[in-house]
Chain A
Amino acid sequence: MSLFEFSKRLKAWQQQLNSIPGWSSALNDALDHVGFTAGYVANVEARKKLWANRRKAVKDNIWGMIEFSHDDGEIIDSPLMQRMRSIRQNGLTYLTYPNANHTRFEHSLGVFEVVGRLLDSAILTAEAYSKEREGGVTVNEELEPVSYSRVSREYRLIRHAALLHDVGHAPFSHVSEKVFKTLSAELNVGPISVKQFSDLFRLEYSLPLDLDGGKNETGVRPKSKSLSELLSVAILLSDRFDSFYKAVCHGDSTFDEDADIYDLCALILGDRISQNDFALPEVLSGPVDADKIDYLVRDSRACGINVGIDVARVFLRAGVYKAAPATGDALGLGNIDQKKPIKLFLIDPSGSDAVRELGTSRLSLYDRVYYHQYTRKAEHELLKVFKSFASSTDPKIKRFNCLLSTWAASEDYLLDTLCLSTDAAIQNGSRRIKSRNMPKRVAMLSREFIVDPVVPCKEFEKTCEKQVDEIIEQLFRPSSSESLFSDSNEADAQASVFFSDASKHLKGIGGVDSDGFLPTKPPIGFIPPPKQVDADPKPALVLMNDTVVRFGEDESSRLFAGAVRLNKGIVTAPDGARETALLALEKSLFLNCLDVDFVFSNQTANPSDPPAVPPLEVKGLVLPRLDIEMMLRQFKLNGDRLKEYRKHLLSEGFYEGLQHLIPYDDDQKVSAITRKFDTFQGEHGWKIDEDHTRRFIEQFPVDLRRQIAGILMDDFYYMDRADIIANARDAITKIATDGPWFASPLSLSSGMALRTNIRDSIILRNVTFVSNPAEAVERAAAENGNVLLFDDNIASGTQAKRQFSILFGNEEAPKEKNYFADKLNATQIDFIRKNGISFAFAAAYAKGTEELGKYLVEQDVKQDLIRIEFGKALEETNVEAKLLPDLKTFLSDVGKQVLAQRFEREGKEDPNAEAMKHSLGYSNLQSAYAHSLNVPTTTLTALWCPGVVSSSVRLSETESTEISMPWLPLLLRSKHTKYLTVGL
C-alpha cells in the first residue's frame, strides 16, 4: 500500500531521527525503564497464544463495560499503556479538586470506547440509509452515509490510535511540556536538544512540498502539534514498537507492515491517511471528537462539576458521509483527488445542540477547573522547579534535563525525588506542592484592576483611553514583546527586590521577615494569563438541510473564552506577606512600564469621519497604577495593615521620587478645590474633575500636599465668568463716560472670548463693541469717537506691546500666535497720537500697565492721552509670602523643567537659563491667579504648564535611578495642549 503524504513525511522524519547517533539507544533506554523491553516485545506472540482470541472487558466508571479484542488487550496491557496509570489526566488539579486523580490510562481507555461508539453510530446510520433507500424512501443521494466495518483496517487503526494517543505525555503533562518547550535549547531529548527535535519534525512534516508558485491552493496542511504528540509519535516510530505492533497484529488480514505504523501516527497527529478521507482523523481529533467527549465527561465527573452534555445524542447523530469532491472544494479543503468521492465526519442537525453543549462545558471547565487559580499557582510553582533542572548541580535531578528520562518517571516518583533534592529551590518548591502550601493571590493583572489615566482634555479622552487600553493589554498579554510576563521584562524580579527592601523596614512593626518566613526567593510569583483557551472554539461540520455547513459556537462563548483568558494573570505571595508584596508590586509595575511611551491624537479610526477639531498629537506615557482598593476587597487583604506599612515605608524613603503612589485622601479638600475651579474651560475641552485634582496634588511630595491644597483653596484668586464681567465692567465704566466709544479686544484669544462674554452683559449706550483694534480706530476716526481696548488681564505687558508693534507696522504678526495681524494706516496711527487711547483690563499688574504706557509714549502717543483702568490689582494675588521654602523649591524645580522643554521645542537658545527666569511664573512673579478662560503666564508655572518632570527614585538602599514622569497641571494655559504628556 502506498503511503499518503503525511505518512511519507513521518517516514522521512523517522529516518532522520534514526540517523542521529545515540538516538535509538536513548529511546530504547527510556523504553527499557518503563518495562517496554526487547524481551517483553519478543514475548508478545507467545502471550497472544494464551489469550486464544478471547474477548475481554473492563468496567469504566463513565462508559460502563468496555470490551476489547485480544489484540487491543495486548496494547492495553503493554508497559507503554500501563505507564499512563501514573500520569494524572489533569496534572495538579487534584490539589484543588481532591477527586481529580484519574489518569491518562483511564482517559485513553475512554477515548478508545468513544471512538468505537462513534464508528458504530456511523455503521447504524449507513445501515438505516440503505434500508430507507431500498424501501423507496427519498434520500439525499449527494451525501450518502458510509461506515468503516468493524473488521476494517481503518477501524483498527483509529481505535489503536485512541489507545496510544497520549503515550508521549510526561509527568505533569502540561507543566513539563511548557518547560521543555520554553527551555528547548537547553533541555534534551536523548542526544539532541528539544529544539532540534521539534524543528526537525516541523521542517519535515509541517511544510508543504509544493505550492504551485503560491498561486493556487494545492498544499496539504497538517495540524499544529504539541511536544507530547511528537514524543508519542517518536516512540511509536521506534524499531521496538514496530516489532511490538507487528506481533500484536500478527494474523490480522488487514495489517500492512509497511504502512500501519505511519498511518497510526498520522491519525494520532490528527491528519489524513488517505487523500479523500477527511473523516477518520476527525473522529479522534476534531471539533467534536472522542478525546474531547471523554475528557469533558470524565474531568467534570471527577471534579464534581455538573456539565450538561447529551453524549448519547452526539453518538446517535454523528456519521461518516460520502460526498462529491465539489463539496470539499466549497469547504476549502485542500488536495482532493477530484476523481473520487470524499469522506466527511458530520453531525446530524439534531445533534447541533450537543455540539454547543460540548463547547459550553469545555469553557466552563476551563474557567473552573483547568485555569482554577489554585491549580495555576501550583503549576507555576512546579514550573519554577522544573526550570531549575537546567541549572541544577544535583546529579539526581540533572538526568531530568532529558525529556526521555522525565517521561520514564512516574509523577509520584518524580515529585518524591525532587523533594529529596540537595538543591534548596527545587526541594522547597516541590515540598510546597507535596504539602499543598501554595502562596496566595495578591493581585490580578487585567485592565479592570488598573486605574484609568486622567485625560483632562475631554476631546482626547476616548482616543487616549483606547490607546492606553491597548498598551496595557500588550503588557498583560503573554505573547507580546512588551509583556510584563516576557522573559526580558524584569517586573517580577524587581518586585522581589522591592519586597526585600520593604520587608527590612517593616520588621520593626510586625512585618514579615522575608529571610526567615520565606523558604525560597523570589517570594513574588508572576503567573501569566493563558495565551488562549484551547485555541478558541472550532466549528464542527453539520449536515443542515442536506447541505454541509460549519456550525461554530456562538459569540457569547467566544466572549466567555476571552474573559476566561484575560482574567487569569495573577500575582502571588506567601500568606502574611501579601500586603508587603502588593506594595512592592505596585512600585515595580509603575517603574517597569515607564518606558512605554506613545502618541495619541484626536483623530478617529475611521478616515471617512473627519476630526471634529484640527488634528493634534499628544504624548502619552503608560504608568499603570493598581486599583489597590479593588485588590483589597477582591483578595481580602488587610487594608489597615497596608496603610500602616505604607506610612512606615514612606518615612523610610521607600517612596522617594514616587510620591504618586501614596494616595491623597483628604476627600473634602479635593472636592472643594474641584468645585472652586469647576467653571474653568481650557482648550480642547480641558475641565477639572475630582480625579484630576487628586492626581494633581498627588504629584507633590506628601509633606507638601497640605500646603499646595491650602494655596489652591484659600489663596488662589480665581475669577469665574461673573467675576470677569464685573471687573471688566468696573474698568470700562470708569473710562467710557462721555462721547461715543469703540471697544475692541486687545488680544485674539482671551480678548475675543472676553468680548463674547461682556458685549451682552455691559449695556452702555455710548459704547460700541467691534471685533478688532483696527476696526475700533477706523470707526472712532470716522465718527469722532474714542478707542477703548480691553482684555482679561495684563501681566508683564509683553504681549500688549507686541500687539501694538504689529498695529503700528513695526513687525509682522507671527503665525499661529495670539495676535491680530491687521496694521493701522498712517491716518489711523495719527488719530491715536492725537486723540489718545484707553485700556480696560479685568485684572492687571501695575508693572504691565507701566510697560504698555511706556511703549506707547515711545511711539509718540502723549502720556496724558493714555488711560489704563483695571478691576483687580494682580499684585494682591502674589503668594510669595505663603510659599514655604520646600514647596517653593519644588514648584520652581517643576516649573523650570516643564518650561525648559517648551522653550527647547520653540528653539530658544538657552532654554534652561530662560526657564529659570520664569520657573515661578513669568518674571518669577509668583502669582496665583486665573480666570475661567485662561491662566496668565505670571501664575506659578507648575500650575498651568504641562511637560515631563525627572526625579530620582530609590530602587534599594544603595541604588537609585532617574525617571521621567508626566507633569499634569491643574489648569492649562491656552496653546499649551501640544506640550501635554498624558500618563497619570
Chain B
Amino acid sequence: MAEKTHTPPAAKQVSPDTFMEWLLSALLVEGTQSLVVEDVSVDKRLRLAVNVLESAALTYRRSGQTDLALQILDVLEDLRPDPNTGSMSGFWSAMRRQQPLRARFPNPRYRELEINTVPHTAKRTALEIPHPWDALVRQTAEKIAHAS
C-alpha cells in the first residue's frame, strides 16, 4: 500500500474498506502473511475478531458514545457472518475489494488470501491508525492472527 504523506483518514469517519486496509497492515505486523478462505479454524478466529468489534460497539453505546458505536456498526455490517448460514462471505468480499494492491487470492484455487502490503509500509500504516481505532484494529488482528 502506498504511504501517503498527508493526514490519514480522521477518526470521525471510517469506512469498512479503510478498516480492512488497516487490518491487513496490522495482520502483517502480527506476522500473518496469509489466511485460508472458508477454513473452519480461520472462520472461528474471524468470528472472535467480529466479537471484539461488537463488544466495543456495545461498550461505546453503554457509555453514551453512540457515534463511535454507529461507526463500528458500519464496519460490522460488512464483516459480520451471515446470521442464517454462518458464512463469512461479507468479510471475504471486503478482503477481495482490497485486491490487487493490498491483498491477492492467487491461482489456481483462489482459496488463500495473501497480504500484498510492503512490510515497512504496513508498519507505518499501523502506527498511523487514529485513536480509538488503533486498539480495535490491533485486538482484531491479534484474534485473527493467533488461534485461541
Chain A positions near chain B (C-beta within 8 angstroms): 199, 202-203, 206-208, 210-211, 213-217, 219-224, 270-272, 278-279, 281-282, 286-287, 328, 330-334, 345, 463, 466-471, 473, 477, 479-482, 532, 535-541, 550, 552, 555, 558, 562, 595-601, 603-607, 620
Pull 21 A–B residue pairs with CB atoms less than 8 Å apart, ordered by A. Answer: A203-B69, A217-B47, A222-B83, A278-B84, A332-B88, A333-B85, A334-B81, A334-B83, A345-B84, A466-B101, A469-B101, A470-B101, A481-B15, A481-B18, A532-B93, A540-B85, A550-B87, A555-B110, A597-B5, A601-B118, A605-B115
Chain B residue with minimal CB distance to A549?
B38
Instruction: Give A215 to B97 CA distance when docked, in angstroms.
Output: 29
Smallest Cβ-Cβ distance to B82: which chain A residue: A538
- Whether B84 and A270, one on each chain, are in contact in the complex, defined by CB atoms closer than 8 angstroms, is yes
The answer to whether A272 touches B84 (Cβ under 8 A) is yes
Q: Which residue of A lies closest to B143 (CB)?
A: A214
The interface residues of chain A lying within 8 Å CB-to-CB of B55 are: 211, 213-214
Docked complex Cα distance between A605 and B81 (Å): 30
Task: Specify which of A220, A278, A539, A599 is in contact with B3 (CB 8 Å cutoff).
Answer: A599
The answer to whether A199 and B66 have CB atoms under 8 Å apart is yes
Query: Are A203 and B61 neighbours in the complex by a CB distance under 8 Å?
Result: yes
Q: Which of B43, B66, B96 contacts A203 (CB 8 A)?
A: B66
Q: State in angstroms the CA–CA spacing of A537 and B87 once bound together.
A: 11
Are A282 and B101 also in contact (CB < 8 A) when A214-B51, A604-B118 are? no
**How close is A619's CB to chain B, nearest CB, in angstroms?**
9
| Contact status A470-B84, CB under 8 Å | no
Distance in angstroms from A347 CB to nearest chain B CB is 11
Q: Which residue of B lies closest to A537 (CB)?
A: B89
Known: A281-B84, A286-B84, A481-B18. A207 touches B116 (CB 8 A): no
Asked if B85 and A207 sit within 8 Å, CB to CB, the answer is: no
Q: Which B8-25 residues have C-beta < 8 A from chain A? A: 9, 13, 15-18
C-alpha spacing A826/B148, complex, angstroms = 71
Bound-state CA distance A832–B131 (Å) is 68
B90 cross-chain contacts in A, Cβ below 8 A:
535
Residues of chain B at the chain A interface (Cβ within 8 Å): 1-6, 9, 13, 15-18, 33, 38, 40, 43-44, 47-48, 51-52, 54-55, 57-58, 61, 66, 69-70, 73, 76-78, 80-90, 93, 96-97, 99-102, 105, 110, 115-120
The answer on a CB contact under 8 Å between A211 and B58 is yes
Q: Which of A223, A470, A603 contacts B120 (CB 8 A)?
A: A603
Q: Are B15 and A208 in contact (CB under 8 A)?
A: no
- State how many angstroms separate the Cβ of B141 from the closest Cβ of chain A: 15
Number of A-B contacts (CB under 8 A): 167
Q: Could you tell me the distance in whole angstroms from the C-beta of A179 to the nearest C-beta in chain B?
A: 19
The reply to whether B2 and A470 form a contact with Cβ atoms under 8 Å apart is yes
In contact, A271 and B82 (Cβ under 8 angstroms): no
Contact between chains at B73 and A214 (CB < 8 Å): no
Contacts of A479 in B (CB 8 A): 15-18
Query: Do A211 and B83 touch across chains, with their CB atoms under 8 A apart?
Result: no
Residues from chain B with a CB closer than 8 A to the CB of A532 are: 93, 97
A462 and B40 alpha carbons, distance in the complex (Å): 36
Q: Please indicate the chain B residues that have their CB under 8 angstroms from the CB of A537 in the complex.
A: 89
CA distance A208 to B51 in the complex (A): 10
Complex contact B40–A330 (CB within 8 A): yes
Q: Out of B13, B38, B51, B61, which one reaches A550, CB within 8 Å?
A: B38
- Find out whether the CB atom of B70 lies under 8 angstroms from the CB atom of A203: yes
Query: A470-B1, A598-B3, A603-B119 known; 20 other A-B pairs, CB under 8 Å?
Result: A199-B70, A213-B55, A214-B48, A215-B51, A270-B84, A271-B83, A332-B44, A332-B81, A535-B90, A536-B93, A538-B85, A538-B89, A550-B87, A552-B89, A558-B110, A562-B96, A595-B6, A596-B4, A600-B2, A605-B115
B86 and A331 form a contact (CB under 8 A): yes
Check if B85 sits within 8 Å of A331, measured CB to CB: yes
Contact A480 to B15, CB < 8 A, known contacts A203-B66, A214-B51, A469-B101: yes
Max chain B CB contacts within 10 Å: which of A206, A328, A330? A206
Residues of B within 8 A of A480 (CB): 15, 17-18
Chain B residues, CB < 8 A from A603: 118-120
- The 5 lowest CB-CB distance pairs between A and B, nearest first, are A332-B86, A470-B101, A214-B55, A598-B2, A331-B86
CB distance from B41 to the nearest CB of A (A): 11
B3 — which chain A residues lie within 8 A by C-beta?
Answer: 598-599
Question: CA separation between A220 and B43, bound complex, in Å?
Answer: 17
Q: Identify A605's interface contact among B61, B66, B93, B117, CB under 8 A.
A: B117
B contact residues around A328 at 8 Å (CB): 86
Chain A positions within 8 Å of B117 at CB level: 605
C-alpha spacing A287/B93, complex, angstroms: 14
Q: B58 — which chain A residues lie within 8 A by C-beta? A: 207-208, 210-211
A498 to chain B, nearest CB (A): 24
Tell me the minimal C-beta distance from B72 to chain A in angstroms: 9
Given A481-B15, A535-B93: A211 touches B116 (CB 8 Å cut-off): no
Closest chain B residue to A329 by CB distance?
A: B86
**How distant is A207 from chain B, measured CB to nearest CB, in Å?**
6
Give chain B nearest CB distance to A540 CB in angstroms.
7
Q: How far is the CB of B20 from chain A (nearest CB, A)?
A: 10
Contact B54 A207 (CB under 8 A): yes
Contact yes or no, A221 B97, CB < 8 A: no
- B29 → chain A, closest Cβ, in Å? 11
B-side contacts of A333, CB under 8 Å: 83-86
Cβ contact within 8 Å between A470 and B81: no
Residues of A within 8 A of B84 (CB): 270, 272, 278-279, 281-282, 286, 333, 345
Instruction: Give the distance in Å from the alpha carbon of A270 to the alpha carbon of B83 in the complex.
Output: 9
B102 touches A211 (CB 8 A): no
Contact check, A220 vs B83: say whether CB atoms are below 8 A apart: yes
CB-CB < 8 A to A216: which residues of B? 51
Interface pair B9/A481, CB less than 8 Å apart? yes
Chain B residues in 8 Å Cβ range of A203: 61, 66, 69-70
Which residues of A sit under 8 angstroms from B40, Cβ to Cβ?
330
- Interface contact A207-B15, CB-CB below 8 Å: no
Q: Is the CB of A607 within 8 A of B119?
A: yes
- B54: chain A residues at CB < 8 Å are 207-208, 211, 214, 219, 221
Q: Are the CB atoms of A597 and B4 closer together than 8 Å?
A: yes
Least CB distance, A336 to chain B, in whole angstroms: 10
Q: A223-B83, A470-B1, A480-B17 are in contact. Are A332 and B43 (CB under 8 A)?
A: yes
- The answer to whether A467 and B2 touch across the interface, beta carbons within 8 angstroms, is yes
Contact present for A224 and B82 (CB under 8 Å): no
**Residue contact B51 to A217, C-beta cutoff 8 Å:** yes
Contact B51 A562 (CB under 8 A): no
When distances are taken between beta carbons in the complex, the residues of chain A under 8 Å from B115 are: 605
CB neighbours (8 Å) of A271 from chain B are 83
* Bound-complex Cα distance A219 to B3 (A): 37
Q: B87 and A539: CB pair below 8 A?
A: yes
> CA separation between A209 and B81, bound complex, in Å?
17
What are the residues of chain B within 8 A of A605 when measuring CB–CB? 115-119
